[in-house]
Structure 1
Amino acid sequence: MRRTERSAFTPEERKAAMWALLIAGLIAAFALVLQQWTQPSLGPWGADQAAASIPGVLDAQPVTTSF
């Protein structure tokens, strides 16, 4: 039995849209997992150098102004 009401999209278009959403979701999930496995490179300020202090930074004081 065929429906008499018309819809905005054909069944093939709805099926293609669902596949596109599924594939986009899988790509996004894979990107999130991949991002957790690979951390960005911070160069010389990476994890190995995180504890090293930069000269003069610990002694820095805020600038005060007098009015």
Structure 2
Amino acid sequence: MTRIDARGLRCPWPALRAGRALREGAEAIEVAADDPAAERELRALAASTGCAFRSVGAGVYRLERAAA
């Protein structure tokens, strides 16, 4: 599990960091973000990359690649 602490970063930075982790081969990413737009942008990233998306807590989101 790759964890990204994006608290204090304005969007699009949380999604950009998550996207980079996916490109580098991460299978599952947990992102902590406090920008109100982060959930929407991370959800869009998950949809565009075929990842599952879920909120796992206040300001914590998980993206997971589908098992092959």
Give the shorter-chain TM-score range: under 0.3
Higher relative contact order (CA 8 A, sep 6+): 2
TM-score normalised by length of structure 2 = 0.26
* TM-score of the aligned structures, taking structure 1 as reference length: 0.26
Which protein has the bigger helix share? 1
Larger Rg: 1
* Structure with the larger strand share: 2
